[in-house]
């Protein structure tokens, strides 16, 4: 046998090494998040169980919430897939979803779909984004005076963190319910992060009754069906906040998540995380006592078809977790997520049991 160490082969190996290094570098952020999310799970989970979870590709939190120990890992999309493969499904266009300003710029052509973005808060300046011409922090307070409520949202980063609801109150302005004098609010708005000043959208009565303190959104997982050449909804869950979550509906912080029947819009029981990280299903919201199971989301059919109609116009975004807020007369799109959390869907059953979903992930080599 003759070994060929000629130049083309060497070049080939060098290129392959470079590609691997680049690949790792590209994934570094997601690996960091993966480790961060595992470390931030402070629930009392034995090390042996954590190891079992990691071995199967799950974070300990997902492992417990989806009850993998009980049902087995079959048909579940693992966290390894989620963190290391799904972020690349939208390619370069992930930026459209990752950056809320670009998201707003791209989707604002659909009238009355997005909440209005008034201004961009940058370190030293306030950049007006619409005809209200909000150009200074004082203008933001002036606008708040007029509108009553505003939302301040970072342009990057997910999980509902750092979102603030500003509210006009007697004797000052409330920042996430905490009343402060305007000077203090101005100080808080001057943070380092780039943030958007947006319209506060009033949710429909049914959602307000279940938990009035948060914007209770529906996360709709939309995938692209290559055979039909159109998007389809893989699963939708309605999330509800609780007094512990503040203005957002984050489940890890004490919120609930109920499966939405795609045909009827009927909600299933709400899953809530117990202190030891296992799911607990509730027919009623444990804090407000309002019924969740059996509630039908108003104008669900129109919402779903409207959302699919929008998604169909963006074939370069084949994988999006949309955050939809149902209002009295329709729905608003709060944001799209490039790397949507999946355990909120899978707590109600594995995603890959649906052949269309499996085909989508297999074709894109997320599931191998």
Partner 1 sequence: MLSQVRSIYRKRRNLKWMYIEERRNPHPLAWRKRIRAWRMGFLSGSYLYLDLDHHDPSDYINDRMRFLRLSALNGPYAEILHNKLLFGEVFRRHPDVVPETYALVRQKRVWPMSDVERVSSVDGILDLLSRKGKLVIKKTRGFGGSDCTILEDRGGDVAFSGRVVSRDEARERLGSRRELIVSEYVQQASYAREIYPASANSVRMLTMVDDETEEPFLARAVHRFGGGGKMVDNVSQGGVAAIIGPDDDRLGIGVQIDEAGHPRNIECHPDTGARITGVQIPHWQQVVDRVLELAREHPYMPYIGWDVIVTEDGLRILEGNSNSGVLFTQFHGPLLADPRVRRFFERRGIIPSAS
Q: Given candidates 2, 3, 92, 183, which one binds partner 1 under the rule CB under 8 A?
A: 92
Number of residues that bind partner 1 (CB under 8 A): 22
Per CB under 8 A, the segment of 98-106, 159-167, 279-287, 294-302 that binds partner 1 is 98-106
Per CB under 8 A, the segment of 121-129, 199-207, 234-242, 351-359 that binds partner 1 is 121-129
- In angstroms, the Cα distances linking 73 to 77, 128, 237 are 9, 49, 21
Q: Is 67 or 125 the residue whose CB approaches partner 1 more closely? A: 125
Q: Which two tokens stand for residue 242?
A: 């609780």
Q: Does 102 bind partner 1 (CB under 8 A)?
A: yes
CB 78 within 8 A of CB 58: yes
Name residue 221's beta-bridge partners: 235, 321
DSSP three-state, residue 5:
coil
Q: Does 143 bind partner 1 (CB under 8 A)?
A: no
| Reduced 3-state DSSP string for 212-280 | CCCCCCEEEEEEEECCCCEEEEEEEEEEECCCCCCCCCCCCCCCEEEEECCCCCEEEEEEEECCCCCEE
> In angstroms, what is the minimal distance from the CB of 222 to partner 1?
16
Q: Does 120 bind partner 1 (CB under 8 A)?
A: yes
Per CB under 8 A, the segment of 50-58, 94-102, 174-182, 204-212 that binds partner 1 is 94-102
Per CB under 8 A, the segment of 39-47, 58-66, 103-111, 244-252 that binds partner 1 is 103-111
Q: Does 316 bind partner 1 (CB under 8 A)?
A: yes
- Measured distance between the N- and C-terminal CA atoms of the chain, rounded to whole angstroms: 34
| Site pattern 189..228 for partner 1 (x: CB under 8 A) | ----------------------------------------
Q: Give the sign of the dihedral formed by CA 16, CA 20, CA 25, CA 30.
A: positive
CA–CA separation, 318 and 226 (whole Å): 9
Per CB under 8 A, the segment of 76-84, 120-128, 240-248, 345-353 that binds partner 1 is 120-128
Q: Which two tokens stand for residue 207?
A: 């959602």
> In angstroms, what is the minimal distance from the CB of 325 to partner 1?
22
| Parallel, antiparallel or unpaired: strands 256-260 and 267-273 | antiparallel
User: Binding residues for partner 1, per CB under 8 A?
Assistant: 25, 92-93, 95-96, 99, 101-102, 105-106, 108-109, 120, 125, 127-129, 135, 229, 313, 315-316
């Amino acid at each position: 046998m003759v070994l060929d160490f000629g130049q083309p082969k060497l070049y080939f190996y060098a290129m392959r090494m470079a590609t691997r290094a680049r690949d790792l570098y590209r994934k570094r952020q997601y690996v960091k998040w993966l480790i961060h999310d595992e470390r931030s799970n402070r629930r009392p989970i034995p090390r042996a169980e954590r190891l079992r979870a990691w071995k199967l590709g799950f974070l300990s939190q997902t492992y417990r919430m989806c009850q993998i120990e009980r049902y087995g890992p079959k048909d579940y999309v693992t966290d390894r897939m989620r963190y290391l493969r799904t972020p690349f499904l939208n390619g370069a266009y992930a930026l459209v979803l990752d950056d809320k300003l670009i998201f707003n710029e791209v989707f604002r052509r659909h009238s009355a779909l997005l909440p209005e973005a008034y201004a961009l808060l940058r370190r030293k300046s306030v950049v007006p984004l619409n005809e209200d011409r909000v150009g200074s922090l004082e203008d933001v307070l002036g606008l708040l005076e007029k509108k009553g409520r505003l939302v301040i949202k970072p342009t990057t980063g997910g999980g509902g963190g750092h979102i603030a609801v500003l509210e006009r109150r007697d004797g000052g302005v409330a920042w996430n319910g905490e009343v402060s004098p305007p000077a203090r609010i101005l100080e808080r708005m001057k943070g380092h992060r780039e943030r958007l000043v947006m319209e506060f959208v009033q949710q429909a009565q049914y959602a307000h009754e279940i938990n009035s303190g948060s914007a209770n959104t529906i996360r709709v997982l939309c995938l692209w069906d290559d055979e039909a050449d159109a998007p389809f909804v893989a699963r939708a869950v309605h999330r509800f906040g609780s007094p512990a979550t503040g203005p957002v509906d984050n489940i890890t912080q004490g919120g609930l998540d109920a499966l939405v029947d795609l045909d009827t819009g009927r909600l299933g029981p709400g899953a809530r995380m117990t202190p030891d990280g296992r799911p607990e299903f509730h027919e009623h919201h444990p804090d407000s006592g309002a019924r969740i199971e059996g509630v039908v989301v108003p104008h669900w059919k129109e919402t779903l078809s409207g959302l699919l109609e929008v998604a169909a116009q963006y074939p370069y975004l084949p994988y999006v977790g949309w955050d939809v807020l149902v209002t009295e007369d329709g729905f608003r799109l709060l944001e799209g997520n490039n790397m949507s959390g999946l355990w909120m869907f899978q707590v109600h059953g594995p995603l890959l049991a649906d052949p269309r979903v499996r085909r989508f992930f297999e074709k894109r080599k997320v599931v191998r």
